[in-house]
Structure 1
């Protein structure tokens, strides 16, 4: 397979006896300068492929004739060639008069820094969106408590003096809040499951290459559970505050 990969037009140019296979150490990873992900560009464009899983690396000597000129050109056009010293590139361009064909160079470190900057900016934007979404969710929950308390103030006071429990007095609103909490709890797992199913369907139809399934991490589950807990706690606390105020005002009027 290695000869065909290096030189598909002339695979016999790479003798099999010159190819040796070595296994990497357990737990060893290889950085690919690919934080955005190109292998999953169609199915998951935001996938982080900085570290490849179960990699197969083909290492050839510097300047080896085993790779065709077309192969070098193909890798270069895809930003897949890395030079330790940028001066080697400029010297090679001047030596072979390649100014017409090479219009620019992108340092690997600079590209990695730009990609990291974009990822940090996207992460901050996602945090901001999450904060806004949580704020809207909390405001909506508290607003529902306000409407419920004002609309049913007399019933709430009557049930309280009749010995009804807090949960029984507000069972309709608490039941609705329980349904909402359940939807929030299963929303993220459902989205991940649906994405995995779509990836399997695309792979079965050969519309895209098979990709590793998206897994739910413990941190993701903890964040989801924390969001549900905060939302439920805020609604229950707000409802308890309004309940107590209605009872005090009703007792004062009586």
Structure 2
């Protein structure tokens, strides 16, 4: 099978031939149809002290199951988080991390929602929004931010403000349902909001907190139910072949991504 690797931090990504792994007890061997590219993995390639497996969200068909697996069988379509080599034609997925893909969802939909959608939904639940409130979503064009904008609206937000790193992302965020879009460097972010879903942190946390009104700021089955009902709709910035994994990383490093970046083995 083909697999992406790198030799040292900061080195180019390389495509190599590797043996198809055998599933250990409790593991599924998945033929990858789509692989999600995330900022943490991109950063590991450039910042980790030594090379690490390129893992992340995977989606595809179960082709073998290890001993003790009870929830899935050969032929099932699944998605989940792979902590080993995920940038590959085949990947190992622990049964506990796997979720069945609904019939009306594609593999690309699955990797766009399996982590980003869950994070957005979990953040919304923590915010306990009330209908009619105003919401702020930072990194609104990102893999987490773009479903958060849609889910905030679905949960009854009367006004949704998206914060982005560049004006080039404004139209995309408005197309998701945001009422207003602000830039990270703008002076003031408009009218106060009732809660903020911050996917950036660091220096951006201060203006995000400042945008809250006084007193403001007051997870897999549910997500699929919402998806089946029409929102959130996964947005995909780019679909890259496995041998073009470096270009996928570049899309994230340059902050040009609008939605999810996906590898298609």
How high is the TM-score relative to the length of structure 2?
A: 0.20
Q: For CA contacts below 8 A with separation 6 or more, give which structure has more relative contact order.
A: 2
How high is the TM-score relative to the length of structure 1?
A: 0.21
Would you tell me which structure has more strand in proportion to its own residues? 2
User: Which structure has the greater CA radius of gyration?
Assistant: 1
